[in-house]
Each structure stands twice: as structure tokens, then as C-alpha cells.
Structure 1
């Protein structure tokens, strides 16, 4: 998981390379807070600039499995849904889940 900024992408690449060195398989890259959706016209606004998700995916040879937009109303207050059904973030999480379910990376459970 990374944000669009170059510094965050560099950290994510380091973390991904450490995971590979530990013989873990990467299922994909998620870019968080890459854009906001204008409530008036629906246009994507890249508030932080950068292209961190694609940079990390390219360096690690892993696909971008999703991009989660910023949603100002997502406060996570107790008793309030974090995402409305059908909202841009909810759709992003659905797409990420579907992408991960379709990968060949499977969790191995070691019985002790």
C-alpha cells in the first residue's frame, strides 16, 4: 500500500523488496488517497500529485490491484458507516477484493 507521493512510493518499494527477500509473494499494489472525486462533476482530482501506485507496481513487477480515493465524509465515527454502499471508496475496495481473489497467490496455512 502506498500513497502517490514519491517518498511514500520509495518506502513501499523497500518494503516490497524485503517481502520478496523473505520469500513472500506480492499480490499487488494499492494506492491509497491518490485522488478525490469532485462532488459536483465527478472529476478525479489528484490532490497530492505523483504516481506512486504505478511506480511501485513497475519496480516490483506487481499489478496495481486498486486505487482508493479520499472521501471527506469518511470520518469513521462510531455508529456511522465508513463508506456508503456504492460510493467510490466502496467500489475501490470491491475491485481490490475481486482482484486479490483472482490472483494465484494463496495463503499457505502451516499446521503445527
Structure 2
């Protein structure tokens, strides 16, 4: 009986966690549709990361906490000190916001 109770409890917890993920995805899709109708651009929301895709094929991504992988990001050496809190990335430019960077590390970069 105790094993059955534990199994039911674990299955219930897994279902609750799965439904939270499904709820987040549903909220992302609803937000995408609202933004797309408002701005007239294709929008992809993936958690904290938002990508706008224009009609001409241009793409801009906001909210990532990774070093950009665009052509511009590949040409500039990665700054490995500190913590990336946000970035904006496109084929023509990128913007990185960092925290916890020491002055000496910045100067030597």
C-alpha cells in the first residue's frame, strides 16, 4: 500500500510539473500572436529569449545569456570573465550586458 501511495504521489508531481511547462509554452504562443499582430513581424518566444524575424530575412534576438553566435559575434573574441545577463544579436550587430566584471579583466580585454 505504501509503494502504491508513493507511486501515485510521484506520478501526480510529474503531471503537475509537465502541466507547468505546457502552461508556459501556451502563454508564449499567445504572447507571440499578440506581438505579431501588433508589430506585423514574425516573433518567436522561447522562455526568456525573444526573436523578431523581418520580411527581408533579418533576425534580431533579445534576452539570451550566451555569447552571440552571429557572424559579428564570431569575429569578436569572447569575453570570458563576468556573467552575461542579457544580449541582443543580429547579423549586423550585437550588444552584451555583463555583471561581475573586474576592472583589470576589462582593461586587459
Alignment TM-score > 0.5, same fold:
no
Higher relative contact order (CA 8 A, sep 6+): 1
- Structure 2 length normalisation: TM-score? 0.29
- Structure 1 length normalisation: TM-score? 0.29
